[in-house]
A and B are shown apart, each in its own frame.
Chain A
Amino acid sequence: MSTSKIEIRNLTVDYIEKKKNFTALKNVSFPINDGEFVSIIGASGCGKSTLLSVLEGINKPAEGEVLIDGEKVNGTGSNRSVVFQHYSLFPWMTTRKNVAFGIQQVRKELSRTQRLQVADEFLDKVGLSEFRNKYPSQLSGGMQQRAAIARALAMDTEILLMDEPFSALDAKNRIALQELLLKLWEGENSENKKTVVFVTHDIDEAIFLSDKIVVLTSHPGTVYDIVAVPFERPRNREELIARKDYAAFRSRLLSMFYHDIVDRIGGNEVVL
């Protein structure tokens, strides 16, 4: 019996495109500990989102398995909540209804009033109180993601899965939301800290947020390396970036990122 929260074992995932079979992930194994913030990085098309979709339970592996608390994942479950890059929210529900609807699916014991109360509480935490009666189409991209995060946190699941949640945002919003996410996640007391799996292609984002970074290579996706982030929490972005070891760490990750590309192109003199 493993002690990790999530155990990914020998995972191979195929997908079919234009009637051809591709291998998206091949033999991927790694553990994720309870309360850990893990980022999965890799170039686009390396299968990082596919990996997350298996954790979500909406995609089934060809081989291997994912265990959560020692139990095999088979479909979606009420112990996980998800934030996607787009379309996490239902466009026909107000922000508040969206959050309350998420709560309703996992915490059936709550009454309607209680659900709305919890929804309001979390919308307040992400700074959307004023916008609770607006529809998603009336919100900016950043606000929509705030609302999606509020819903995921309000559902109070043990595991939070995030699939490039900030990739579509402008730089300013992205930074603001990274800090908000970290603040909310670090703000929880240590016993019931959520386990977060965060997919991104942004190295700085991964370093700033994570305890551990899993680097994937492409075609098919395999684990290239797993790196522990050596910076203590709570983190301050400016101080972190100014540190010498940060630059060293970052370039180490960057070389892993490009190592893969250089290998594939096969030349030494690659101009990127």
Chain B
Amino acid sequence: MTIKARFLRMTHIFFTILMLIQLLPDKSQKEVCTSSLIVFAIVAEAVVIILSFLIKRKESLSLTLDIFGFIYVFLTVWTLVTAKFDLLNDLLFPAPGKVISQFAEDKTVILTNIKSSVGIIIQGFLLAVVAAIPLGLLIGLNARLGNAASYLTKFFSSIPPIVYIPYGIALLPTFRSVSIFVIFLASFWPIFAGTMSGVLNVDKKIVDSAKVLNVKKPAMLTSVILPASLPQIFLGCNQGLSVSFILLTSAEMIGARDGMGYYVKYYSDFGDYTRTITGLLVIGIVVIAVTFLFNRFQQYLLRWRK
């Protein structure tokens, strides 16, 4: 790539525009924290420039730049309609700088909440993975049993997992254990169903190929059936993971004392919409980060596919 292709990009123009509009006078009566926004944007631009050096592939560089371009445009519009021209209700729509400075101010609380939420998700989800995959493999191996089980699974997975919450609260002592239990149930069924359908649909040619190699039963399960069903297992895991986030944040809004859902609900009850929006954005970032890491893991394990 030429230097020009690498560094002369629309994204930097958007960044410049974002910086220039900060020079306009503020019309909003509220605190707008322009300096926080400027610091944030400069850090973002520094990241962009570093990435422009590092990223080798042309397509990934364009993608990264485009994403940052969108963020700059979004921040520009947001600044204009709030701080600069005060077009919206400033109680409901805080300026971007305010949200950023709120995030900086609350960062310890937010981090604790993220830790709590992500911890619960990981525990419930891992329990489901550990239970559902071996069970799905064993039951799926027997075509008759597997067929019957897939009907039962359809029944159980058709129950929206959120309705387990009241029963979970009656059953278990702490909010944390209830959340883990509900996430376990919500992830278990899709992973179990995915594993079973994976096993039931392993290409007969692959099984024959393993049989003629004299692969014995245990190795057949771990070295042939399991990897052959892995794409379907991951389909179930992805479904389980996305349901888990919806479920946990809903549960946190109902009865928790920490977690990101709690943070959003708690401050919106006080009418503190700056913190509400901060919380929403943080949840988005966390969900994206977790699914990104999970997808990377999936891509690694399924690297043999085209």
Give A residues with C-beta under 8 Å from B.
56-58, 76-78, 80-82, 84, 86-93, 101-102, 105-106, 135-137, 155, 161
Docked CA distance A84–B211 (Å): 12
A-B contact pairs, 20 of them (CB 8 A): A56-B211, A56-B212, A57-B211, A57-B212, A77-B214, A78-B214, A80-B212, A82-B212, A88-B209, A90-B224, A92-B304, A93-B304, A101-B223, A105-B214, A105-B215, A105-B216, A135-B303, A135-B304, A137-B306, A155-B213
Q: Which residues of B contact A161 (CB under 8 A)?
A: 212
B57 contacts chain A at the CB level, 8 A cutoff: no
Whole-angstrom CA separation of A266 from B224 in the bound complex: 48
Contact between B205 and A76, CB atoms less than 8 A apart: no
Q: Beyond A91-B304, A93-B304, A137-B304, is A81–B209 a contact (Cβ under 8 Å)?
A: no
Residues of A within 8 A of B305 (CB): 91, 137
Q: A58-B208, A86-B205, A135-B304 are in contact. Are A92 and B228 (CB under 8 A)?
A: yes
Q: A84, A106, A135: which contacts B209 (Cβ < 8 A)?
A: A84
What residues on A are CB-neighbors of B209 within 8 Å? 82, 84, 87-90
> Is B212 touching A81 in the complex (CB atoms < 8 A)?
yes
Tell me whether B161 is interfacial, beta carbon within 8 Å: no
- CB contact between B227 and one of A56, A57, A80, A90 (< 8 Å): that residue: A90
> Apart from A84-B208, A101-B213, A105-B219, what 8 extra A-B contacts exist at CB < 8 Å?
A56-B212, A57-B211, A81-B212, A86-B205, A88-B209, A92-B230, A105-B214, A106-B213
Tell me whether A105 and B230 are in contact (CB under 8 A): no
Q: Are A87 and B212 in contact (CB under 8 A)?
A: no
Chain B residues near A88: list those with CB within 8 A.
209
6 closest A-B pairs by beta carbon, nearest first, are: A87-B205, A82-B212, A92-B227, A135-B304, A92-B304, A137-B306
| Alpha-carbon distance between A90 and B223 when the two chains are bound, in angstroms | 10
Q: Which residue of A lies closest to B303 (CB)?
A: A135
Nearest-CB distance from A97 to chain B (Å)? Answer: 10
CA distance A268 to B188 in the complex (A): 67
